Amino acid sequence: MQLSFSMLSSTFFFVFVFFFYFQLCFCNGRIFTFEMHHRYSEQVKSWSRSRLTSFTAKHRWPEKGSFEYYADLAARDRILRGRKVSEIEEPVTFSDGNASFRISSLGFLHYTTVTLGTPGMKFLVALDTGSDLFWVPCDCTRCAPIQSSTYGSEFELSIYNPKASSTGKKVSCNNILCQHRSKCLGPFSHCPYVISYVSAETSTSGILMEDVLHLTTEERHRELVEAYITFGCGQVQTGSFLDTAAPNGLFGLGMENISVPSILAREGFIADSFSMCFGRDGVGRISFGDKGTREQQETPLNVNSLHPTYNITVTQIQVGTVGSDVEFTALFDSGTSFTYLVDPAYTKLSRSFDSQIKDTRRPPDTRIPFEYCYNMGELHDWIPHRI
């Protein structure tokens, strides 16, 4: 993600102020008065036309009360609110809090609650650094059920309704974020999307939407932030999305332009960064615009400009106190439940682990997708605390 700012000409302000000076002989004092005019008022239009510049020559004044009139006002309001947040460099997080949780019954993924639309609707979404698009079930043709014995009764799931949100709108095919224009009927038709994931026969498809994501600043005095973001209206899900994994949506945290962190940085809401941490108990946090500290350790990313991902180079693996030198690249993917390695790294790690385990190894079982399984003793079981 690349963060950049652009400033309007210093001669053109959001509110034009005309100053009129009057010297009044009243108690030997002076009174200054001024008039304020809205940027689209007739006075400002006349003033602008009389002082023709390159900006005003190209600028088309929208008709008051028209769709373009309110759209332009809303866009400028979002820019100003975004600048206000970014100027004080406060990190932001979801309005429901920055906590995340690993939920074993939902694919061992890390989840958090987000609020979307007006009025706000809550979604329990999986956090995924391995993909880019944020999507939720919407106008469902084939979605996971809202209630299921697989989830349990403690989860409250939702389905997004485009007609129920006063701030939601469908993204047209001429939008810069529309990647499947070849499937569009025309430039103003709704932009479709299709994404397939690594998990077998797992995908989501639908149309792109734009709506308000409800956020809050994390430091000082908490301030609510409404950010317009682009997301997927997931009409058809397949594979794991129909039962155990992300039944209420997936929050893509990748580096492409369509990801929420990229949008927030591009619109000036945050610094071009975010952070996540996961505790051993599965409880974690997520924060957008968090720059970290100077003392923290860093790992460089291997960024592919054609398709940037959080790819790193691994130089050593350690099991317990035994280390092995290796060299391979790996994708940091919070949307994958387990760590996957290929040889020779896999063999080095598994053999080192097996040599340190004191319990009896189980014979191969076709019902279990793991090669190394053990019968753990009640008193003498031991697992390397560090891998």
Q: Which CATH number belongs to the domain containing residue 176 in this structure?
A: 2.40.70.10
Report strand pairing: 16-26 vs 29-37: antiparallel
- Is 128 annotated as catalytic? yes
pLDDT at 368: 86
Do residue 148 and residue 202 come from a single domain?
yes
Catalytic residue among 139, 333, 354, 381: 333
- Residue 350: exposure state from Cβ atoms within 10 A (0-12, 13-18, ≥19): middle
* Total count of domains within the chain: 3
Do residue 284 and residue 319 come from a single domain?
no
Which portions of the chain are predicted below pLDDT 70? Answer: 1-89, 151-153, 220, 379-387
Do residue 268 and residue 315 come from a single domain?
no
Do residue 121 and residue 195 come from a single domain?
yes
Do residue 108 and residue 180 come from a single domain?
yes
Do residue 158 and residue 213 come from a single domain?
yes
Which helix (DSSP H) or strand (DSSP E) does residue 94 occupy? strand 92-94
The amino acid occupying position 189 is S
Do residue 322 and residue 211 come from a single domain?
no
- Is the distance from CB of 112 to CB of 100 less than 8 angstroms? yes
Whether residue 202 is contained in a domain is answered as yes
Residue 264 CA, distance from chain mean position: 8
Whether residue 283 is contained in a domain is answered as yes
Catalytic residue among 128, 132, 211, 290: 128
Do residue 125 and residue 173 come from a single domain?
yes
- For 55, the domain range is 1-61
Do residue 169 and residue 318 come from a single domain?
no
Do residue 188 and residue 220 come from a single domain?
yes
- 13-30 pLDDT, tens per residue? 333 333 333 344 444 555
Give the dihedral sign, CA 115/117/118/123. Answer: negative
- Residue 193 CA to residue 179 CA, distance in Å, equals 7
- 316-368 pLDDT, tens per residue? 999 988 888 999 999 999 998 888 999 999 999 999 999 988 888 999 888 88
Helix, strand, or coil here: 178? coil
- Hey, what are 233's tokens? 């209206």
- Residue 349 CA to residue 358 CA, distance in Å, equals 16
List the beta bridge partners of residue 278.
Answer: 284
Interior angle at CA 57, CA 54 and CA 61, nearest 5:
130
- Is 333 annotated as catalytic? yes
Domain limit, last residue, from 19, 45, 61: 61
For 91, residues 6+ apart whose C-beta sits below 8 A from its C-beta are: 217, 218, 219, 270, 271, 287, 288, 289, 290, 291
Do residue 250 and residue 170 come from a single domain?
yes
pLDDT at 73: 55
Whether residue 73 is contained in a domain is answered as no
pLDDT at 20: 34
List the beta bridge partners of residue 18.
Answer: 35
Whether residue 79 is contained in a domain is answered as no
- Hey, what are 258's tokens? 């369509």
Do residue 243 and residue 279 come from a single domain?
yes
- Is the distance from CB of 55 to CB of 9 less than 8 angstroms? yes
- Residue 142 CA to residue 99 CA, distance in Å, equals 30
